[in-house]
């Protein structure tokens, strides 16, 4: 009886009959250049400590500000109507939500925006329910919209009309 024993190749090796010789060849696991230089290791260490500082988590107010500025930058303008003003009683502040509606491609959207971070808008919105306004929306996601931001206001000259 002929008993043949089949050996499995170790991970990272080339088994017999598949390489150029009949022996098992170990594949190189290190880069050809050898170890990293001391300067490269020191630079990598500095980068490893700096990365968490660059990737800090943003607070919700900052995320909302960035969303408003993004919609302002690449948004399209549509006519809308201010539906209501909702003032929510909170522990520390009194947020003002402006509820507005607008239409894009035959679809009517209704949204609300917190304007407490925009004091010049927050002061006049109490006079605006029922009035028309311009709304900026994201053309790829029309439900993502703003009625005002730090650089733009869809209320236009209606501010003077509301006060006067």
Element of type H or E holding 112: strand 107-114
In a domain, 85, yes or no: yes
Q: What's the total number of domains in the chain?
A: 1
CA dihedral 52, 53, 55, 57 (to 10 degrees): 100
Tell me how long the chain is.
164
Per-residue confidence in pLDDT tens, the chain, 164 aa: 555 555 555 665 555 555 555 555 555 555 555 555 666 666 666 655 555 556 688 888 899 999 999 999 999 999 999 999 888 776 566 778 899 999 999 999 999 998 888 888 878 877 888 899 999 999 999 999 999 999 999 987 544 444 44
Structural domain boundaries, residue 129:
60-163
24 found inside a domain? no
Element housing 69 (H / E): helix 60-74
Whether 80 is in a domain gets the answer: yes
Bridge partners, residue 163, by sequence? none
* Residue indicated by tokens 């919700």: 60
> 10 lies in a domain?
no
Q: Is 113 helix (H, G, I), strand (E, B) or coil?
A: strand
Whether residue 47 is contained in a domain is answered as no
């Amino acid at each position: 009886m002929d008993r043949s024993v089949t050996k499995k190749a170790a991970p990272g090796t080339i088994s017999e009959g598949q390489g150029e010789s009949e022996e098992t060849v170990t594949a190189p696991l290190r880069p050809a250049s050898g170890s990293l230089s001391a300067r490269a290791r020191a630079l990598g260490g500095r980068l490893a400590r700096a990365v968490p500082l660059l990737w800090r988590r943003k607070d919700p107010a900052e995320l909302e500000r960035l969303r408003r500025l993004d919609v302002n930058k690449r948004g399209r303008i549509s006519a809308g109507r201010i539906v209501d003003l909702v003032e929510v009683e909170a522990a520390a502040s009194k947020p003002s939500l402006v509820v507005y509606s607008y239409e894009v491609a035959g679809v009517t959207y209704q949204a609300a925006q917190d304007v407490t971070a925009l004091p010049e808008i927050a002061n006049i919105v109490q006079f605006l329910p029922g009035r028309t306004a311009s709304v900026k929306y994201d053309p790829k996601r029309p439900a993502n919209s703003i009625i005002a931001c730090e650089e733009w206001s869809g209320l236009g000259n209606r501010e003077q009309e509301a006060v006067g």
